[in-house]
Amino acid sequence: MAERDVLLAIETSQREQSVAVVSAEGVVVVEPVHAGDRTHEDLMPAIDRAFAKAGASHERLHAVLLNAGPGGFTGLRIAHATAQAMALACGARIVPVGAGACARMASVLAGELSSGDAVWVALASKGDESWVQRVEGSVDAVAHEGRSSEASHWSCEGVRLLIADEHLPEAWRRRAAQQQVRCMPLRVGAQAVLQAGRTLLALGRHVAPEAAVPVYPREAEAVRLWRQRHAAPPA
Protein backbone atom coordinates (compact mmCIF):
# COMPACT_ATOMS: atom_id res chain seq x y z
CA MET A 1 0.00 0.00 0.00
CA ALA A 2 1.28 3.47 -0.90
CA GLU A 3 2.42 5.68 1.95
CA ARG A 4 -0.05 8.46 2.73
CA ASP A 5 1.85 11.74 2.83
CA VAL A 6 -0.07 14.16 0.58
CA LEU A 7 -2.09 17.02 2.06
CA LEU A 8 -4.96 18.98 0.50
CA ALA A 9 -6.23 22.31 1.87
CA ILE A 10 -9.52 23.89 0.78
CA GLU A 11 -10.58 27.52 1.27
CA THR A 12 -14.03 28.37 -0.13
CA SER A 13 -15.52 30.25 2.82
CA GLN A 14 -15.26 33.65 1.13
CA ARG A 15 -15.34 35.06 -2.42
CA GLU A 16 -11.59 34.62 -2.85
CA GLN A 17 -11.20 30.86 -3.05
CA SER A 18 -8.29 28.47 -3.52
CA VAL A 19 -6.89 25.03 -2.83
CA ALA A 20 -3.38 23.91 -1.91
CA VAL A 21 -1.66 20.56 -2.31
CA VAL A 22 1.54 19.40 -0.62
CA SER A 23 3.21 16.49 -2.43
CA ALA A 24 5.19 13.68 -0.86
CA GLU A 25 8.36 15.59 -1.78
CA GLY A 26 7.15 18.73 -0.01
CA VAL A 27 6.19 20.65 -3.16
CA VAL A 28 3.42 23.14 -2.33
CA VAL A 29 1.05 24.24 -5.10
CA VAL A 30 -1.69 26.82 -4.53
CA GLU A 31 -4.41 26.89 -7.18
CA PRO A 32 -7.23 29.46 -7.43
CA VAL A 33 -10.82 28.29 -7.61
CA HIS A 34 -12.67 30.25 -10.27
CA ALA A 35 -15.86 30.66 -8.32
CA GLY A 36 -18.19 33.27 -9.77
CA ASP A 37 -21.68 31.95 -9.06
CA ARG A 38 -20.74 28.33 -9.76
CA THR A 39 -18.19 27.38 -7.13
CA HIS A 40 -18.98 23.69 -7.31
CA GLU A 41 -18.10 23.51 -11.01
CA ASP A 42 -14.44 24.48 -10.52
CA LEU A 43 -13.55 23.13 -7.09
CA MET A 44 -12.77 19.57 -8.19
CA PRO A 45 -11.07 20.76 -11.41
CA ALA A 46 -8.95 23.14 -9.28
CA ILE A 47 -8.03 20.26 -6.97
CA ASP A 48 -7.08 18.11 -9.96
CA ARG A 49 -4.96 20.96 -11.39
CA ALA A 50 -3.15 21.37 -8.08
CA PHE A 51 -2.47 17.64 -7.78
CA ALA A 52 -1.11 17.55 -11.34
CA LYS A 53 1.14 20.59 -10.85
CA ALA A 54 2.49 19.16 -7.58
CA GLY A 55 3.04 15.74 -9.13
CA ALA A 56 0.96 14.27 -6.32
CA SER A 57 -1.20 11.15 -6.31
CA HIS A 58 -4.75 11.00 -4.92
CA GLU A 59 -3.99 7.51 -3.64
CA ARG A 60 -1.42 9.00 -1.24
CA LEU A 61 -3.80 11.60 0.22
CA HIS A 62 -3.30 11.66 3.99
CA ALA A 63 -5.64 14.47 5.07
CA VAL A 64 -8.00 17.12 3.79
CA LEU A 65 -7.75 20.40 5.72
CA LEU A 66 -10.56 22.89 5.26
CA ASN A 67 -11.93 26.14 6.61
CA ALA A 68 -14.90 24.93 8.65
CA GLY A 69 -16.55 28.36 8.92
CA PRO A 70 -18.32 30.55 9.61
CA GLY A 71 -18.41 31.84 6.06
CA GLY A 72 -20.50 31.67 2.91
CA PHE A 73 -23.27 29.08 3.22
CA THR A 74 -22.85 27.53 -0.23
CA GLY A 75 -19.05 27.61 -0.26
CA LEU A 76 -18.84 25.84 3.11
CA ARG A 77 -21.34 23.16 2.12
CA ILE A 78 -19.54 22.42 -1.14
CA ALA A 79 -16.13 22.28 0.56
CA HIS A 80 -17.37 19.89 3.21
CA ALA A 81 -19.13 17.63 0.71
CA THR A 82 -16.00 17.53 -1.43
CA ALA A 83 -13.75 16.81 1.56
CA GLN A 84 -16.07 14.04 2.76
CA ALA A 85 -16.18 12.41 -0.67
CA MET A 86 -12.40 12.51 -1.07
CA ALA A 87 -11.78 11.27 2.46
CA LEU A 88 -14.13 8.33 1.97
CA ALA A 89 -12.72 7.48 -1.46
CA CYS A 90 -9.05 7.76 -0.41
CA GLY A 91 -9.25 6.72 3.23
CA ALA A 92 -7.98 10.14 4.28
CA ARG A 93 -8.58 12.18 7.43
CA ILE A 94 -10.43 15.48 7.66
CA VAL A 95 -9.07 18.38 9.68
CA PRO A 96 -11.65 21.16 10.22
CA VAL A 97 -9.92 24.49 10.83
CA GLY A 98 -12.00 27.28 12.35
CA ALA A 99 -12.41 30.47 10.37
CA GLY A 100 -10.83 32.45 13.21
CA ALA A 101 -7.61 30.43 13.13
CA CYS A 102 -7.54 30.64 9.31
CA ALA A 103 -7.99 34.42 9.37
CA ARG A 104 -5.25 34.88 11.96
CA MET A 105 -2.82 32.65 10.06
CA ALA A 106 -3.52 34.49 6.78
CA SER A 107 -2.56 37.77 8.46
CA VAL A 108 0.60 36.18 9.90
CA LEU A 109 1.59 34.92 6.44
CA ALA A 110 0.93 38.40 5.01
CA GLY A 111 3.34 39.88 7.56
CA GLU A 112 0.61 41.88 9.32
CA LEU A 113 0.81 39.93 12.59
CA SER A 114 3.62 38.29 14.49
CA SER A 115 3.35 34.62 15.36
CA GLY A 116 2.62 35.54 18.99
CA ASP A 117 -0.19 38.06 18.44
CA ALA A 118 -3.65 37.28 19.78
CA VAL A 119 -6.58 38.67 17.80
CA TRP A 120 -10.33 38.90 17.67
CA VAL A 121 -12.04 37.78 14.47
CA ALA A 122 -15.52 39.04 13.55
CA LEU A 123 -17.45 37.39 10.71
CA ALA A 124 -20.96 36.61 9.44
CA SER A 125 -22.42 39.97 10.41
CA LYS A 126 -26.14 40.61 10.23
CA GLY A 127 -27.77 43.77 11.50
CA ASP A 128 -25.70 44.87 14.50
CA GLU A 129 -24.70 41.30 15.33
CA SER A 130 -21.46 39.54 14.38
CA TRP A 131 -19.96 36.14 15.11
CA VAL A 132 -16.83 36.88 17.10
CA GLN A 133 -13.96 34.68 18.29
CA ARG A 134 -10.74 35.30 20.19
CA VAL A 135 -7.72 33.42 18.78
CA GLU A 136 -4.57 33.26 20.86
CA GLY A 137 -1.08 33.59 19.43
CA SER A 138 0.15 30.29 20.82
CA VAL A 139 1.87 27.52 18.89
CA ASP A 140 -1.43 25.83 18.01
CA ALA A 141 -3.43 29.08 17.68
CA VAL A 142 -5.87 28.19 20.45
CA ALA A 143 -9.32 29.45 19.54
CA HIS A 144 -11.86 30.26 22.20
CA GLU A 145 -15.50 29.41 21.62
CA GLY A 146 -17.00 31.65 18.95
CA ARG A 147 -20.28 33.38 19.65
CA SER A 148 -22.76 35.77 18.08
CA SER A 149 -22.78 39.12 19.81
CA GLU A 150 -23.98 42.68 19.44
CA ALA A 151 -21.26 45.31 19.54
CA SER A 152 -22.49 46.76 22.82
CA HIS A 153 -21.94 43.39 24.55
CA TRP A 154 -18.37 42.88 23.30
CA SER A 155 -15.29 43.57 25.40
CA CYS A 156 -11.83 43.31 23.85
CA GLU A 157 -10.36 41.85 27.08
CA GLY A 158 -7.06 43.58 26.42
CA VAL A 159 -6.62 42.24 22.87
CA ARG A 160 -6.29 45.32 20.64
CA LEU A 161 -6.56 43.71 17.18
CA LEU A 162 -9.77 42.83 15.33
CA ILE A 163 -9.83 41.06 11.95
CA ALA A 164 -13.08 41.61 10.07
CA ASP A 165 -14.45 41.64 6.56
CA GLU A 166 -16.01 44.62 4.80
CA HIS A 167 -19.44 43.75 6.21
CA LEU A 168 -18.51 44.59 9.80
CA PRO A 169 -21.36 46.81 11.10
CA GLU A 170 -20.57 50.43 11.89
CA ALA A 171 -21.62 49.82 15.50
CA TRP A 172 -18.77 47.31 15.78
CA ARG A 173 -16.26 49.74 14.31
CA ARG A 174 -17.33 52.39 16.82
CA ARG A 175 -17.10 49.90 19.66
CA ALA A 176 -13.60 48.89 18.53
CA ALA A 177 -12.51 52.54 18.40
CA GLN A 178 -13.86 53.12 21.92
CA GLN A 179 -11.64 50.29 23.18
CA GLN A 180 -8.63 51.40 21.11
CA VAL A 181 -8.82 48.23 19.01
CA ARG A 182 -7.29 48.35 15.54
CA CYS A 183 -9.44 46.84 12.78
CA MET A 184 -7.62 44.76 10.16
CA PRO A 185 -8.99 43.47 6.84
CA LEU A 186 -9.90 39.81 6.56
CA ARG A 187 -7.48 37.77 4.46
CA VAL A 188 -8.13 34.23 3.29
CA GLY A 189 -6.25 31.59 1.36
CA ALA A 190 -5.65 27.87 1.17
CA GLN A 191 -2.07 28.35 2.35
CA ALA A 192 -3.37 29.74 5.66
CA VAL A 193 -5.69 26.74 6.01
CA LEU A 194 -2.73 24.50 5.26
CA GLN A 195 -0.46 26.11 7.86
CA ALA A 196 -3.07 26.17 10.63
CA GLY A 197 -4.37 22.71 9.72
CA ARG A 198 -0.95 21.07 9.78
CA THR A 199 -0.56 22.02 13.42
CA LEU A 200 -3.98 20.60 14.28
CA LEU A 201 -3.22 17.42 12.35
CA ALA A 202 0.02 16.97 14.30
CA LEU A 203 -1.98 17.35 17.51
CA GLY A 204 -4.38 14.60 16.38
CA ARG A 205 -7.32 16.96 15.86
CA HIS A 206 -8.96 15.25 12.91
CA VAL A 207 -12.47 13.86 12.49
CA ALA A 208 -14.26 11.11 10.60
CA PRO A 209 -15.87 12.24 7.32
CA GLU A 210 -19.40 12.04 8.70
CA ALA A 211 -18.43 14.25 11.65
CA ALA A 212 -17.16 17.11 9.46
CA VAL A 213 -19.88 19.76 9.48
CA PRO A 214 -19.76 23.49 8.70
CA VAL A 215 -19.98 26.09 11.45
CA TYR A 216 -22.98 28.37 10.96
CA PRO A 217 -23.63 31.16 13.49
CA ARG A 218 -27.28 31.25 12.49
CA GLU A 219 -29.69 29.64 10.08
CA ALA A 220 -28.89 30.55 6.46
CA GLU A 221 -31.16 33.23 5.01
CA ALA A 222 -32.19 30.97 2.12
CA VAL A 223 -33.21 28.25 4.58
CA ARG A 224 -35.09 30.73 6.76
CA LEU A 225 -37.03 32.03 3.76
CA TRP A 226 -37.83 28.48 2.62
CA ARG A 227 -39.18 27.61 6.05
CA GLN A 228 -41.21 30.80 6.10
CA ARG A 229 -42.73 30.12 2.69
CA HIS A 230 -43.47 26.46 3.41
CA ALA A 231 -44.68 26.82 6.97
CA ALA A 232 -47.83 24.87 7.70
CA PRO A 233 -50.91 27.13 7.92
CA PRO A 234 -52.25 27.66 11.43
CA ALA A 235 -54.88 25.11 12.45
Question: Looking at the domain 6-98+188-220, which fold is it?
Answer: Nucleotidyltransferase; domain 5 (3.30.420)
Q: What is the structure's pLDDT at 57?
A: 94
Which of the four pLDDT bands, split at 50, 70 and 90, describes residue 16?
very high
Each residue's pLDDT tens digit, 137-147: 764 556 678 99
Each residue's pLDDT tens digit, 63-106: 999 999 999 989 999 999 999 999 999 999 999 999 999 999 99
Each residue's pLDDT tens digit, 149-174: 999 999 999 999 999 999 999 999 99
Q: What is the structure's pLDDT at 1?
A: 47
Q: Please, what is the average pLDDT of the chain?
A: 91
Which of the four pLDDT bands, split at 50, 70 and 90, describes residue 222?
low
CA-based nearest residue to 168, from 134, 135, 131: 131
Average pLDDT over residues 181-196: 97
Q: What is the structure's pLDDT at 137?
A: 79
Q: What pTM value is reported for the model? A: 0.90
* Residue 38 in this model has a pLDDT that exceeds 60: no
Q: Which residue intervals of the chain bear CATH 3.30.420.40? A: 6-98+188-220, 101-185
Distance CA 233, CA 90 (A): 47
Q: What is the structure's pLDDT at 218?
A: 74
Question: Looking at the domain 101-185, which fold is it?
Answer: Nucleotidyltransferase; domain 5 (3.30.420)
